[in-house]
Chains A and B, each alone.
Chain A
Amino acid sequence: MLEIKDLRAEVDGKEILKGFNLTVPKGEVHAIMGPNGSGKSTLSYVLSGKDGYEVTGGSATWNGQDLFAMSPEERAQAGVFLAFQYPMEIPGVASLTFLRAAMNAHRKARGEAEISIPDFMRAVKTEAEKLSISMEMLKRPLNVGFSGGEKKRNEVLQMALLKPTLCLLDEMDSGLDIDAIRIAAEGVNRLRSPDTAMIVITHYQRLLNYITPDVVHVMARGQVLRSGGKELAVELEESGYASYGAEAA
């Protein structure tokens, strides 16, 4: 279970999360919707441990472990996975090299031996195929020159291979065409399990047609202002955020 209590965090001295509360039990998918600048990406960075995001109050635990006591890599090894809103390009590091380093880091943390190259290649091939990602593309430097949609699918591929238990998906639908959204969503759905908790950040209810959320939260000005069932997403799509006191960004 992910438990976030009264979380306060600031960036450059500016408070962005202002008493954020959220509980996501294992096995559930929670959607967070909210206007631009409301702090959704900030929340995902704070949970995954990015530098420069200072927690000034509150707590966040995953299965009882204090996330804020852990380094980003320890959090990842404990099952946290942030699918970035804007995946980074890493020149000079081939996607395959990167994937293997990440998988082996997880295995090492679990006390397992490194994955053999044939096993690794087989695993990558299987998952890449499901996501319509070519192996040729994975020989190239990570995300360099990839289209926006390709980068997002690459995030899902990483997730499929690392098998996280706490998934934070930050606008994984942005920049994806309709087919790609379906392909990526199917990838996410394959990871749903009784042990996995997911936070799906999105602006559009369309994604939630593919990844059915158990709960939808409305986030504005650094807080959860309202929570409800998946029909809340439909309502937001129609009425917007005006009633939550958000100015248009």
Chain B
Amino acid sequence: MTIHQTITAAATPAEQRFLDLYASVCDRLPGAGVPAVRAWREEALDAFAALGVPHRRVEAWKYTDLRALMTAVHPLGGLDAGARADVDASIGRALANIDSYRAVFAGGKFRPDLSTIQGAPGISFTPLCAKLKSEADAAATLAALSLPKGDVVAALSTAFATSGALISIAPGKKLDKPIHLIVIASCEANAYALRHAIKLGDGAEASIIETHVGAGASQAWSYTALDIGKGAALKHARLTQSAAALHLASAKVTLGERAVYEPTHAAIGGALTRSEGTIHFTGPNARATYNAAILARGHSHVDFTLVVDHAAPHCESRELVKAVLDDRAKGVFQGKVAVQRGAQKTDGKQMANALLLSNDAEFDSKPELEIFADDVVCGHGATAGQLDEDLMFYLRARGIPEAQARALLIAAFVGAALDTIDNEGLHTALDEKVAAWLAAK
């Protein structure tokens, strides 16, 4: 006789909080009555339970000890009727002025009344929750929404998803204006979970702006799967802004051959912002240019973690991170470039620069190269330093007051990460956000 012994690590209070939350909402989540949906969620919950809440001994979370930093989990929002939302006030006039197809998620719910993306030419848009109502719909939809391995944030976003944007852009379609995905965590006492999937057909061209705003100490976790077809091109700007909120995001991007992906991430403030991603090259001659800007002060903690997976030859990746850190803020950039066997002629470079405005600010940069091909060009660099006093003097010697001179130099420093944005309205909006952040001190 054999004794089957299942060894299950007992959940620590950190995991238990999430498991309890699930138990309390599982019957009210969208699709609660649809077995396929429940199975999909619970598979994710199991994956989460197996992974646990990451802590500093988990390599990918070395500088962001989530177990220590996230001591409470708020009740899940997005289960009741939609809350009031003033989009323009939340995201600011300049961003609101950008002519776009809007998809607004406020308080964990899709808000058709505030959105304009429905019926846009060449764009198929559905909120995730609409697909969770019947077994047939769910089965078809969820088959395409698989769970990436080892991704805690994706697991949580899936288990608790109240909605999300399912966007598909027709092959060859060149969008005439950007899609603006606006996500507002409207209640500071709540947590929100969304799961998005975006697909660009072969040869399509699009620009997506994501704006995430968190009220007070709200919590948000989200997972985005992005599939960029052959020869397709996507510009992807992503702004997270909030003073006290917690924001966990994960994105998995897949590029077909000759695809071009140009993400620009900016995080302004936030108690804890962790934005991790994987860029996966599946065909040759594709290119990804990743730019990231961090502006943090007070006790903010911003972590950008990126894995670029060169699984195909002749692809190019560029990463540029600019972090401005003041007070006791902490910035993290973990950039891993993996070059698979056979991915010859890979060209991968990354650079991280931090500007430390206080002695207590901290920047942790962990570049990592994992190369299994011999004919490649890969490189990385990192710097951390203070404002250049000689430049300060030059500006002041021309009559520019000290505070303004500092602001000019800091804006120029982060500006290097925003330069690739060619939508003028967006560029202006981000410049204004930077200026406002600088002026707020």
- Which residues of chain A have a CB within 8 Å of any CB of chain B? 48-52, 71-73, 75-77, 81-82, 84, 87-88, 90-93, 97-98, 101-102, 105-106, 109, 141, 158, 162
* Total contacting residues, chain B, CB less than 8 A: 22
Instruction: Please tell me which one of the listed residues B389, B390, B395, B411 contacts residue A98 in the complex, with CB atoms under 8 A apart.
Output: B395
Q: How many A-B residue pairs have CB under 8 A?
A: 75
Contact B391 A88 (CB under 8 A): yes
Alpha-carbon distance between A49 and B389 when the two chains are bound, in angstroms: 12
Contact A51 B393 (CB under 8 A): yes
Top 6 A-B pairs, shortest CB-CB distance:
A92-B412, A76-B399, A72-B396, A102-B398, A88-B394, A105-B399
Q: How far is the CB of A50 from chain B (nearest CB, A)?
A: 5
Q: How far is the CB of A141 from chain B (nearest CB, A)?
A: 8
Alpha-carbon distance between A71 and B402 when the two chains are bound, in angstroms: 9
Tell me what chain B mostly uses at the interface: helix, strand, loop, or mixed: helix
**Given pairs A73-B400, A90-B412, A101-B400, 14 additional interface contacts (CB within 8 A):** A49-B397, A50-B397, A52-B389, A71-B402, A73-B396, A75-B397, A76-B397, A76-B398, A84-B397, A90-B395, A92-B412, A105-B399, A105-B400, A141-B412
Instruction: Please tell me which one of the listed residues A82, A92, A93, A97 contacts residue B397 in the complex, with CB atoms under 8 A apart.
Output: A82
Contact A84 B399 (CB under 8 A): no
Alpha-carbon distance between A83 and B364 when the two chains are bound, in angstroms: 39
Assess A92 versus B413: contact at CB under 8 Å? Given A51-B389, A77-B399.
yes
User: Beta-carbon contacts of B401-416 to A below 8 Å, as 1s and 0s?
Assistant: 1101100110111011
Instruction: Please tell me which one of the listed residues A87, A88, A92 contacts residue B411 in the complex, with CB atoms under 8 A apart.
Output: A92
List the B residue with the shortest CB-CB distance to A45: B393
Contact B408 A101 (CB under 8 A): yes
Assess A102 versus B391: contact at CB under 8 Å? Given A90-B409, A92-B415, A93-B409.
no
Assess A102 versus B400: contact at CB under 8 Å? Given A91-B416, A92-B413, A93-B408.
yes
Contact A90 B391 (CB under 8 A): yes
Assess A72 versus B412: contact at CB under 8 Å? Given A51-B389, A88-B390, A90-B391.
no
Assess A48 versus B398: contact at CB under 8 Å? Given A92-B411, A92-B413, A105-B404.
no
List of B residues within 8 angstroms of A105 by Cβ: 398-401, 404
List of B residues within 8 angstroms of A88 by Cβ: 390-391, 394
List the B residue with the shortest CB-CB distance to A78: B399
Contact A72 B393 (CB under 8 A): yes
List of B residues within 8 angstroms of A98 by Cβ: 395, 398, 408
Q: How far is the CB of B183 from chain A (nearest CB, A)?
A: 30
Q: How far is the CB of B258 from chain A (nearest CB, A)?
A: 32
List of B residues within 8 angstroms of A73 by Cβ: 396-397, 399-402, 405
